[in-house]
Amino acid sequence: MTAPQTLRLTTAQALVRFLAAQYTERDGRRQRLFAGVLGIFGHGNVAGVGQALLENELAQQDSADPAPALPYVLARNEQAMVHTAVGYARHHDRLQTWACTASVGPGSTNMLTGAALATINRIPVLLLPSGTFATRVSAPVLQELESPAAGDVSVNDAFRPLSAYFDEVERPEQLPSALLTAMAVLTDPARTGAVTVSLPQDVQAEAADWPVTLFAERTWTVPRQRPDVEQLRRAAELIRGANTPLIVAGGGVHYSGAEDELAALVADTGIPVAETQAGKGALLHGDPALLGAIGSTGTTAANAIAADADVVIGIGTRYSDFTTASRSVFGNPDVRFVNVNVAAADSVKQSGLAVTGDAKESLRELRSALAGYRVPQPLTNRVGELWREWDRQVQASYQPPAEVTDRLDAGLLTQGQVLGAVNELSDPRDVVLCAAGSMPGDLHKLWRVRDRKGYHVEYGYSCMGYEIPAAIGVKLADPARDVFAMVGDGGYLMMPAELVTAVQERVKIIVVLVQNYGFGSIGALSESLGSQRFGTRYRYRDGAPDAGGQLDGPLIEIDLAANARSLGATVIEVSDADQLAAAIATAKAAPDDGGPVVIHVSTDPFVFSPDSAAWWDVPVAQVSHLDSTQTAFDEYTEHKKHQREYLAPADPGPTAPKEHS
Ligand SMILES: Cc1ncc(C[n+]2csc(CCOP(=O)(O)OP(=O)(O)O)c2C)c(N)n1
Ligand SMILES: [Mg+2]
């Protein structure tokens, strides 16, 4: 027997070689799992993973050893680079992503927020935080946590609850199993999220003899799990008995690529469709079954049907509080749920009948199980009427009447005007991207989606600062589309730095920076909860804090346009609707390799999008000396009365149950 062939490499070199050889496959299409590695070097990774990436890039240039591509992109903030990876992976329906390398200590813990965002949104990213010495001979090193209670605790343990899978490679020999499990979790649609492999700084540089088979190309099939036949039959039976069925389309419809199957089912049956943030665009604008957004940021149309629905069919949804209006939007006392979801834990939510499986396969099978079924005609008529009424309100937001615009201060637009202009002047295939502030809710209500990949709002973690780095990820994933990142002034100030990364990579993203001097969203929320917009405005302190001075002095006139310009972006400042239209045209005409374009626009935070009267459960102080808080608490108590538990089981069990004694 000949000895197995081995390669002598450091752990980091082995890691890089392995990552470059991973592929995913679904529906017969194969692609690289990793587009590259994003990173920021420090003493924890510069000579380990950094050295390995250098060797990899040089080998690519050397035709004698044409190693597969795994380009390195230097980011400016570790949290942001995870957002870039998430933006990329979401746009690729979770089939491709990036790895992220960070140095020990703050470099690594900066990725924690990104990890939480990825796991909550179920988007695959590979995080490679660096750990302090496994040997501990030089301990404590710079940035090392010393716990008096446990010698083996490190800051990287903070990734454990945030990761879909976590491992620390303390010995080179542990690398193969850690990586194989990591790949399996990244490509498992029911489990995916942030996958973290912590790499102590000394282990990264340690050499070992690796079997060459470790580096063979591997293709990870992303499975399409079929639902249980009997569960599907019962689901169809329940739906056939419904008078007012309603589909709630979530992100799973997109990730599974099930849009056509959904449209076909809906065309056959007439079941109306409401959409979550992640599911928006599951049906395109103009589909007669579309009711638009559901829940706290929903349309009057979707929420009216939800109030009466007797069977709610959730497809690929987690039923977040925004979707259910904190369990108040489904008002029918006899409502039952059918949940198509690849994750078992989601498919049993709201005591639903669980159709655990891939959305595309499940919808295909459900469609044939529902053959001949059609919703009552009065429901179809009502859906059409409700939608037309809502769409009129959308148009009025896009083009507000003179009685609204006449009240605006000079130079200000309404947020609805801004969203309307971007919607109407962008290409149907362009992508709108947002995450936090008042724009996600307004986009959910108002945006007309014209392409299945055209709407990207991160609302699982709603993380201020996601927008610019994630837009870079989307543009890298799909250079043929323009990406419009809608960013509030608060969100912009959290994470402007990745504009520099966009400059470096010559990536064109279009950032629409909406200046309204503070937290329009949380300000309005604060007011509605009796907290008087306290601490939500970007204003000077009026008097010293110890003399009762509050943040209600003059507006802080900082120049965010100059800030963006100083970071290398092309900046266009606009102060009326015509200038905004011209700026969008200029931005669209800018070259794809010309770096970021920022459109700076100021808006009036007191003109709101149309209301659907839906609730969101945010607790109000039960006792207070303030009249505003007491009034808000009374209103809160009223709303609480409409909150439901949805505990009635939807699954009837076998038709003729055989009880065991
Ligand atoms: C990282 C982070 N911190 C805090 C919050 C809570 N939060 C939600 S919206 C918001 C204000 C956003 O301000 P801005 O970006 O200016 O948008 P606007 O509300 O004015 O539309 C805050 C602080 C958050 N979502 N993310
Ligand atoms: Mg703001």
Model confidence pLDDT, tens digit, residues 365-386: 999 999 999 999 999 999 999 9
The two tokens of residue 661 are 């004694």
Instruction: Phi first, then psi: give them for residue 492, nearest 5 degrees.
Output: -60, -45
Amino acid identity at 305: I
∠ CA(347), CA(280), CA(338), 5° rounding?
A: 25
The two tokens of residue 273 are 């469709």
Q: 291, 274, 230, 259: which is closest to 364 by C-alpha?
A: 259
For residue 98, the SS3 value is strand
Question: Is ligand 1 within 6 A of the CB of residue 462?
Answer: yes
Residue nearest to atom 8 of ligand 1 (CA): 437
Q: How far is the CA of 465 from the centre of ligand 1 (A)?
A: 9
Report pLDDT for 154.
97
The whole-angstrom separation of Cα 225 and Cα 234 is: 18
Report pLDDT for 629.
97
Residue nearest to atom 5 of ligand 1 (CA): 464
The whole-angstrom separation of Cα 437 and Cα 487 is: 8
Report pLDDT for 1.
59
Question: Is ligand 1 within 6 A of the CB of residue 439?
Answer: yes
Question: Is ligand 1 within 6 A of the CB of residue 488?
Answer: yes
Task: From 83, 419, 521, 606, give the residue whose CB has the most ligand 1 atoms within 8 Å, as the site to mutate.
Answer: 521
The two tokens of residue 114 are 């990104």
Q: How far is the CA of 120 from the centre of ligand 1 (A)?
A: 18
Which residues lie closer than 8 Å to 640 by C-beta, 6 or more apart? 617
Residues comprising the chain, all counted: 661
Q: How far is the CA of 12 from the centre of ligand 2 (A)?
A: 43
CA distances (Å), origin 373, targets 240, 265, 309: 6, 10, 17
The whole-angstrom separation of Cα 434 and Cα 455 is: 9
Question: Is ligand 1 within 6 A of the CB of residue 491?
Answer: yes
∠ CA(250), CA(251), CA(254), 5° rounding?
A: 115
The whole-angstrom separation of Cα 11 and Cα 217 is: 18
Task: From 495, 517, 519, 606, give the residue whose CB has the most ligand 1 atoms within 8 Å, as the site to mutate.
Answer: 519
Helix axes 175-186 and 11-19, enclosed angle (nearest 10): 30
Q: How far is the CA of 369 from the centre of ligand 1 (A)?
A: 45
The DSSP-derived string for 133-173 is -SS-TTPSPTT----SS-TT--GGGGGGGG-SEEEE--SGG
Q: Which ligand is nearest to the CA of 496?
A: 1
The whole-angstrom separation of Cα 453 and Cα 476 is: 14
**Closest ligand 1 atom, residue 521 Cα:** 19
Sign of the alpha-carbon torsion through 89, 92, 93, 97: negative
Pairing of strands 218-221, 22-26: parallel
Q: HSE, CB side, 13 Å, CA atoms: give it for residue 160.
A: 8
Report pLDDT for 647.
94
The whole-angstrom separation of Cα 226 and Cα 192 is: 18
Task: Match 């976590």 to its residue by tokens.
Answer: 166
Question: Is ligand 1 within 6 A of the CB of residue 482?
Answer: no
Report pLDDT for 114.
98
Per-residue pLDDT tens for 280-322? 999 999 999 999 999 999 999 999 999 999 999 999 999 999 9
Q: Which ligand is nearest to the CA of 486?
A: 1
**Closest ligand 1 atom, residue 439 Cα:** 21
**How many of the other CB atoms lie within 10 Å of CB of 293?**
28
Which residues lie closer than 8 Å to 8 by C-beta, 6 or more apart? 207, 208, 209, 210
Question: Is ligand 1 within 6 A of the CB of residue 519?
Answer: yes
The whole-angstrom separation of Cα 158 and Cα 136 is: 20
**Closest ligand 1 atom, residue 489 Cα:** 16
Q: Which ligand is nearest to the CA of 461?
A: 1
Q: HSE, CB side, 13 Å, CA atoms: give it for residue 312.
A: 36
Q: How far is the CA of 462 from the centre of ligand 1 (A)?
A: 8
The two tokens of residue 368 are 């044939």
Q: 560, 280, 574: which is closest to 417 by C-alpha?
A: 574
Q: Which ligand is nearest to the CA of 436?
A: 1
Q: How far is the CA of 440 from the centre of ligand 2 (A)?
A: 12
Which run of H or E residues covers position 634?
A: helix 627-640
**Closest ligand 1 atom, residue 493 Cα:** 15
Residue nearest to atom 3 of ligand 1 (CA): 464
Question: 38 and 81 in contact (C-beta within 8 Å)?
Answer: yes
Question: 394 and 413 in contact (C-beta within 8 Å)?
Answer: no
Question: Is ligand 1 within 6 A of the CB of residue 443?
Answer: no
Task: From 412, 414, 464, give the residue whose CB has the most ligand 1 atoms within 8 Å, as the site to mutate.
Answer: 464
**How many of the other CB atoms lie within 10 Å of CB of 238?**
21
Question: Is ligand 1 within 6 A of the CB of residue 464?
Answer: yes
Residue nearest to atom 4 of ligand 1 (CA): 464
**Closest ligand 1 atom, residue 488 Cα:** 15
**Closest ligand 1 atom, residue 461 Cα:** 25
Question: Is ligand 1 within 6 A of the CB of residue 96?
Answer: no
Question: 40 and 103 in contact (C-beta within 8 Å)?
Answer: yes
**Closest ligand 1 atom, residue 494 Cα:** 1
Cis peptide before 140 (omega within 30 of 0): yes
Q: How far is the CA of 138 from the centre of ligand 1 (A)?
A: 42
Q: Which ligand is nearest to the CA of 555?
A: 2
Sign of the alpha-carbon torsion through 554, 560, 561, 565: positive
Report pLDDT for 586.
98
Amino acid identity at 9: L
Low pLDDT (below 70) residues in the chain: 1-2, 63-68, 655-661
**Closest ligand 1 atom, residue 516 Cα:** 20
Question: Is ligand 1 within 6 A of the CB of residue 438?
Answer: yes
Amino acid identity at 264: A
Report pLDDT for 660.
66
For residue 338, the SS3 value is strand
The whole-angstrom separation of Cα 252 and Cα 121 is: 10
The two tokens of residue 428 are 């149907």
Q: How far is the CA of 404 from the centre of ligand 2 (A)?
A: 20
Helix axes 78-91 and 112-121, enclosed angle (nearest 10): 20
Pairing of strands 412-413, 597-603: parallel
**How many of the other CB atoms lie within 10 Å of CB of 21?**
19
Residue nearest to atom 2 of ligand 1 (CA): 464
Question: Is ligand 1 within 6 A of the CB of residue 521?
Answer: yes
Question: Is ligand 1 within 6 A of the CB of residue 156?
Answer: no
Residue nearest to atom 9 of ligand 1 (CA): 437
Per-residue pLDDT tens for 403-435? 999 999 999 999 999 999 999 999 999 999 999
The whole-angstrom separation of Cα 463 and Cα 228 is: 37
The two tokens of residue 100 are 């992220």
Which residues lie closer than 8 Å to 193 by C-beta, 6 or more apart? 118, 119, 120, 121, 122, 123, 124, 125, 163, 164, 185
Pairing of strands 207-211, 6-10: antiparallel
